Amino acid sequence: MKDIARDLGVSIATVSRALKDSPRISTQQKERIQAYAREHNFYPSVIGEALRHSKVRPSKVIGVIVPQLTHYYFSTILAGIEEEARARGYQIMVGQSEDRYDQEYNLCSNFYKNRVCGVIVSQAKDTLKYDHFQNLLDTGIPVIFYDRICTGIECSRVVVDDYMGAYTAVTHLIDTGCKRIAYYGTSMRLEIAKNRYNGYKDALHKHGLEVDDTLVRLCDNRASAEAITPDIMDLPDPPDAFFAVNDDTAIGILYTVKRLGFQVPDEISICGFTNGVRAVSCDPMLTTVEQRGHAVGQEAADILIGKVEGTIPMDRIEKRIVRTRLVIRGTTR
């Protein structure tokens, strides 16, 4: 408000009244100040306003954006963030983007208004513009990405080793006798999708097998898996195994091939990617790649708090990789 007052040649009190839409100043002056504030991305601090007349010191608050709270992997990451933050005297403010750019944008604006000390985020699937992240960085608020990283901005991030996780899983399928391995993945706009597909492809090539494009499908949820799997099993040369981008998709495949009369794993092997609670709730239990979401969350919070407290320079790009492991169960031989 001091900056606005100085630039416009008015008092701080006048700026304050204008931003609160007070009738004590003229409409023309009010609109002039509000327009200037919007142009310069100024928002009143909700936390600051609430605490201005309070003796309570402002909390150390971290904003966290989760694509889907109901997704097991993201919930474990959130638990890891909260545990690390709480242990170091911080609180978290959580928002769900529902994998929508507009919701993600609004969450970033709300976090800025509430003066969080930093933001930890997994990018929404349909995000193609990154101005909301850049605005936070430009105002000195550190942003840490996890899982789905933003390739449009050079920023600190924590990811699992998606490439090696996929490579190891597909190698296991090949080692147990599978020759035609289908791949169900998500949009190649996402870095994790590229890495998992490349792990799949390289494992095939390493073992002298070619990628058959008829076995590569865009599919990242159970409903879609149940819809498209009958057609793929009806091909003249159907797959004898599936590698899926997540457990829900793998379970959709499992349900469908069993309904079609195939024996798992004798005729069809299936491997997922997550190792959530559903992996042990199906019959047979699912072979899958464990992502270790709790560790991802702890690492992301550690980087953010390090930047806030000065132990990690704001301009240093931290890139941390959490190793995956293959958990072998009943859906593979």
pTM for this prediction: 0.80
Give the pLDDT confidence of 216-258 residue by residue, as tens digits. 999 999 999 999 999 999 999 999 999 999 999 999 999 999 9
Give the pLDDT confidence of 151-184 residue by residue, as tens digits. 889 999 999 999 999 999 999 999 999 999 999 9
- Supply the pLDDT for residue 151: 85
Give yes or no for residue 55 having a pLDDT over 80: no
Give the pLDDT confidence of 18-41 residue by residue, as tens digits. 888 888 889 889 889 888 888 887
Contact present, 249 and 272 (Cβ < 8 Å): yes
- Which candidate, 275, 293, 324, 274, places its Cα nearest to that of 165? 324
SS (H, E, C) 46-103: HHHHHHCCCCCCCCCEEEEEECCCCCHHHHHHHHHHHHHHHHCCCEEEEEECCCCHHH
- Supply the pLDDT for residue 59: 54
Structure tokens at 123: 């990018």
Report how far residue 237's alpha carbon sits from residue 79's, in angstroms, rounded to the nearest whole number: 44
- Which candidate, 88, 87, 66, 63, places its Cα nearest to that of 77? 66
